Structure 1
Amino acid sequence: KDGEWTLQELSGLCERLAPAGSSGASIVITGIRQGDSLVNFLWDDGVYTTVSTPIAGASRPGTGDIFASILAADAVRGETLLSSVQKAANFVGLCITGSEKAGTPVQEGVVFEKYLAALL
């Protein structure tokens, strides 16, 4: 689709993506740009919410992998989806900001090792 998605359109998309007749389905759509913010859309068993964070810098390779890894680790530990998405969004933003300050070229992704303690 060209242009911006509305929350209702995203919710409808998630309803179509969720397995028919399933309960407990969760979907996260990340990186929706809205002005100076990045919005993450959460659809959890038919209920949606959003988590918005300021754009920290340029899009970089590997940030989606970091985000997904945090969600997977938190799911195993029984964390709520909302708290996990908030943690992942904040951590990725921290890593992007740190990479920008360190002068890391965009194509090299993000510096994350020095910030791992923030996940504890």
Structure 2
Amino acid sequence: MRNIVKRVAAVHDLSGFGRSSLSAITPIISTMGAQVCAIPTAVLSTHTGGFENYSFVDLTDSMTEYINHWKSLNIDFDCIYTGFLGSPKQIDIITDFIDYFKKNDNFVVIDPVMADNGELYATMTEEMVMKMKNFIKKADIITPNFTEACFLLGENYEKITDEKILKDWMIRLSEMGPQIIILTSVPEKNEKDTSTLAYNKKDNKFWKVSCQYIPAFYPGTGDVFTSVIVGSLLNGDSLPIAIDRGVKFITTAIRASYGYDYPKREGVLLEKVLDSLKVPVTISTYELM
């Protein structure tokens, strides 16, 4: 029986303060009409982007029992969506989860959260990079940023703007398993702009959505973007429309937040722009590459 309301199994950490991970994912996907079923990988008092001395509770040891209860309930999901995973053991646990809950009529989205601005996050190791390379084989869709793509492919970090090279990168990532690659934070020759690129292996098409770079950093924007992609695809949007919607929403959220004087470490002001997710896309800016 089909779910009356579509369900997303969301495997992420939970921060009590700051708009990132489950604190951002849940309102976005709920606003877009799907139920978020969370598997918390850790609970933090705040996220780690700009906060110090935060409380951190690792939930690795409770995740298997948690998931086993779901198995006993015969729950099914329309999408499995994973983000930050804090250890090789967590990757192994969620690999088993995907093997059990993946069906022919649902899809798996893996956001390989590991790095940004040319560097691995402090909690990441080379072992985690190798595990992530294997883990993304389970995905239908991956959403690495430009830095994460470099680590997954073993490429040196440098600002590549040549479309031929970027297309080759996405093809190589798809050969690792996923059908769809969505590559974010791609530099443009015009440094005032940035792009999101996508490749669908099934029809061998490449897509591009550009936006103007805004000189501000807000933690959690990757979670926000991928959550909009998930909600959009669950609502039946095409891949280019989903990407277009994601880019427009994150741009709107940053613009709405940028004019306010508050600590940027709190994330974008989602509450001011959530309703825009209910508005149909009337003018699209995506283009074929």
**CA RMSD, Structure 1 to Structure 2 (Å):** 1.8
Runs of 4+ in 1 over 3 A off after TM superposition: none
The gaps in structure 1 that reach 5 residues or longer are none
Q: Tell me how far apart the structure 1 counterparts of residues 172 and 209 of structure 2 sit (CA, whole Å).
A: 22
**Amino acid in structure 1 at the alignment position of 2:267:** G
1:81-120: CA deviation from partner (whole Å, max 9, x where unpaired): 1111111111111111111112232211110112111111
Number of residue pairs matched? 118
Percentage of pairs with the same residue: 24
Q: Tell me how far apart the structure 2 counterparts of residues 6 and 43 of structure 1 sit (CA, whole Å).
A: 16
TM-score, with structure 2 as normaliser: 0.38
Partner of 1:76: 234
* 8 Å CA contact retained: 1:61, 1:108: yes
Q: Tell me how far apart the structure 2 counterparts of residues 61 and 119 of structure 1 sit (CA, whole Å).
A: 20
Task: Name which of 28, 32, 53 aligns with 2:182.
Answer: 28
**Amino acid in structure 2 at the alignment position of 1:14:** M
Task: Name which of 208, 214, 217 aligns with 1:59.
Answer: 217
1:30-56: CA deviation from partner (whole Å, max 9, x where unpaired): 112322112001111222121001123
Partner of 1:108: 266
Find the structure with the greater CA-based Rg: 2
Partner of 1:86: 244
Q: Larger helix proportion, structure 1 or 2?
A: 1
Shift of the alpha carbon at 1:64?
0.6
**Amino acid in structure 2 at the alignment position of 1:28:** I
Q: Tell me how far apart the structure 2 counterparts of residues 9 and 70 of structure 1 sit (CA, whole Å).
A: 27
Other structure's SS at 1:59 match: coil
The gaps in structure 2 that reach 5 residues or longer are 1-155, 279-289
Partner of 1:47: 205
* 8 Å CA contact retained: 1:66, 1:92: yes
